[in-house]
Amino acid sequence: AVENPTSTEIQDVCAAVGFNVLVEKNKMYPREWNRDVQYRGRVRIQLKQDDGNPCLPQFPTRKSVMLYAAETIPKLKTRTQKMGAGEQSLQQGEGGKKGKGKKKK
């Protein structure tokens, strides 16, 4: 699975493959406790044509689309740039602090 995927990331991945994608920005999961803008959005994808055949033969089910998105989203440029910046900040911050010991009374 992908940690914290956004609706725009899912839209980008699905549109790149060739799906008809519709993003509803104001929709959100009712049990989501965080009401921030980044957690909002529902992605609707047309999986099947009117006659019941899949739009794209390599993605016959919803599960196959989700597995593809889970594989592809970590490879997006926005994700790889964030990871690179995070690793640099971890390397710079290491070594300076030592753990707290017990206070003596």
| pLDDT, position 14 | 95
80 vs 82: CA distance, rounded Å? 5
| Domains contained in the chain, CATH given | 5-76 (3.30.56.30)
Would you write out the chain's pLDDT as a tens digit for each of its 105 residues? 788 888 999 999 999 999 999 999 999 888 888 888 888 899 999 999 999 999 999 999 999 999 999 999 999 888 888 766 655 544 555 555 555 666 766
Torsion angle, CA of 50/53/56/59, rounded to 10 degrees?
120
